[in-house]
Amino acid sequence: MAPPLLFLRDIRLTFGGTPLLEGADLSIAPGERLCLVGRNGSGKSTLLKIAAGLVEADAGERFVHPGATVRYLPQEPDLTGFATTLAYVEAGLGPGDDPYRAAYLLGELGLTGEEDPKTLSGGEARRTALARALAPEPDILLLDEPTNHLDLPAIEWLEREIGAMRSAMVLISHDRRFLETLSRATVWLDRGRTRRMDRGFAFFEEWRDAVLEEEERDRQKLDRKIVAEEHWVRYGVTARRKRNVRRMANLAALRSERREARRAVGSVRMAATEGEESGKLVIEAIGVGKAWRPDEPVVKDFSIRIARGDRIGIVGPNGAGKTTLLNLLTGTIPPDSGTVKLGASLAMVTLDQRRESLDPAETLANTMTGGGSDYVDVAGERKHVIGYMRDFLFLPEQARTPVAALSGGERGRLMLARALARPSNLLVLDEPTNDLDLETLDLLQEMIADYNGTVIVISHDRDFLDRVVTSTLMSEGGGQWLDYAGGYSDMIVQRGAGVERRSVERPAGKAAPEAPAAAPARKTARKLSFKEKHALETLPGTIDGLAAQAAKIQALLADPGLFSRDPKAFSEAGRRLADVEAKKAAAEEEWLALEMLREELEG
């Protein structure tokens, strides 16, 4: 294996009396692609800043190979002192770097290069800083949340751009699909220490669960040993004094180890407070149109029926009008043309992406309860606000903390906590995954799955969409929005392209529903071939067989002792599971395409 270009060894750092890093390690070899994962507040960004040389640790060693170039993408870049965005990006180029790459990257990220840094939004500043980090194609790239403020076309472009680079890189991101696509090794920062797995993020959760289960077994062994020692102290026959002293010292040491052991941080507990059941029809839009400027429709002749229990995802590039469409559907703004009818007994709760409804001067506890009470009614259960705060990983001493002092991740959890405490049967979520860590995302997905009402969500998180929505509304440009069955991946299969495709041209036989004149074109003399008919009949059995294989492998991986007993077998099982699931996904996509073709040919 090639020697590392950069490594951190036994890094220790304490903020405000609380240890943040307690012996963390990080090693990056040429061309290596690591993802750095961990809970919000675990110290990921701090460790990356130490690797970049921007923060000095209290103790530990940092080494960078002489001559190696390092570029770091901060979450909050500083562009002061530069006349234009192009000047800022070009300042990051070194001798021999391609001078045209700066303008190319800015253009791909939706900037001209002539923007004044003083007038940039937070998202534009982040995209400018991303261009500066990528422009020199450094030996080592340290990227902290590179997908923040990017829309889906930009995220998919960034995946391709980074994938083609030869730089070694460390990625911090809450975008699962992004990490699964790019990472080849995983470093987990947990309770101040790092653990490394030489496999990509796709295998992280199985590995993490195995590690935590092994820790729990060790903790239980320690508890039993403490009980045995206490039993001897209370009831054992007195032996020689020196032996007594030694055993008492051993008991004290065991108790100290038990007391000082840093347990895994608790889990977020989510439950939505559901209101009275809505009518079967939740929203009906007929021929809806909206334009903010003449001849530039944001929504054009759009119709949809949303029933109780539907989970609708809205996707498209920035500026396509996703929030406008959401506001039209929920009656927040009136349409220019057409009608929107809301169903009976609707109780709607909204989570806005900019957290604008939070009062920065209000305390955390009052924001959760609405003030005037120390209790919250959640899912039919009355909870004290301190207990409800704990459910969302807030400490009791934070009860009187003003909202303005909370981090972005904490504000995201606070918005969720407040929204879920309100009775509702329609959840409207505008970018709910912003600033949430992976464990909180998992629980949000489970909560939505268990929610009996209707959900409408805007998101750029492809994995989140695949896990929660039943249909996807996609912007096709020119104000046209089309409804695709399934999640984001299903939409790509049906559409034949990702979000970057803005043309309204449809694949043959898939005319837009609002163009009735195109309907006769769907009539065709073509019939399913024998091979297609056979595949339609046999693919369900193939899919079931692959699902059974996957279940067997998952049962094998669920053995908590397999990883420690036989790491090679664990890794091989993981590879086989990935292969089987890939085959199953391909079979499902083929069946879906054939089923759609059959329905189309049968009219």
Sign of CA dihedral 197, 204, 30, 133: negative
Strand 6-15 relative to strand 18-28: parallel, antiparallel, unpaired?
Answer: antiparallel
How far is 155 from 323, CA to CA, in rounded Å? 19
Count the Cβ atoms, other than its own, within 10 Å of residue 16.
5
Listed residue (75, 478, 169) closest to 302, CA to CA:
478
Summarize the annotated binding site as residue ranges: 38-45, 316-323
Q: Which residue has the tokens 């504000």?
A: 411
Strand 348-351 relative to strand 426-430: parallel, antiparallel, unpaired?
Answer: parallel
How far is 559 from 366, CA to CA, in rounded Å? 45
Summarize the annotated binding site for ATP as residue ranges: 38-45, 316-323
How far is 222 from 241, CA to CA, in rounded Å? 25
Q: What would the two tokens of residue 206 be?
A: 């199985």
Q: Are 425 and 249 in contact (CB under 8 A)?
A: no
Which residues contact residue 599 at a Cβ distance below 8 angstroms, ignoring those fewer than 6 apart? none
Sign of CA dihedral 163, 166, 168, 169: negative
Q: Could you give the dihedral angle defined by the CA atoms of residues 529, 530, 531 and 537, in that order, rounded to the nearest 10 degrees?
A: 110
Q: Are 314 and 473 in contact (CB under 8 A)?
A: yes
How far is 169 from 503, CA to CA, in rounded Å? 34
How far is 23 from 588, CA to CA, in rounded Å? 46
* Phi and psi, residue 594, nearest 5°: -70, -40
E strand or H helix that includes residue 49? helix 44-52
Listed residue (227, 261, 232) closest to 246, CA to CA:
232
Describe the crossing of helices 408-420 and 438-450 by its angle, rounded to 10 degrees.
Answer: 20
* Phi and psi, residue 132, nearest 5°: -65, -40
Q: What would the two tokens of residue 518 be?
A: 């195109």
> What DSSP line would sit under 19-34, residue for residue?
EEEEEEEEEE-TT-EE
Which residues contact residue 161 at a Cβ distance below 8 angstroms, ignoring those fewer than 6 apart? 105, 108, 134
At 416 the three-state DSSP class reads helix
Q: Are 587 and 546 in contact (CB under 8 A)?
A: yes
How far is 238 from 235, CA to CA, in rounded Å? 9
Q: Are 161 and 141 in contact (CB under 8 A)?
A: no
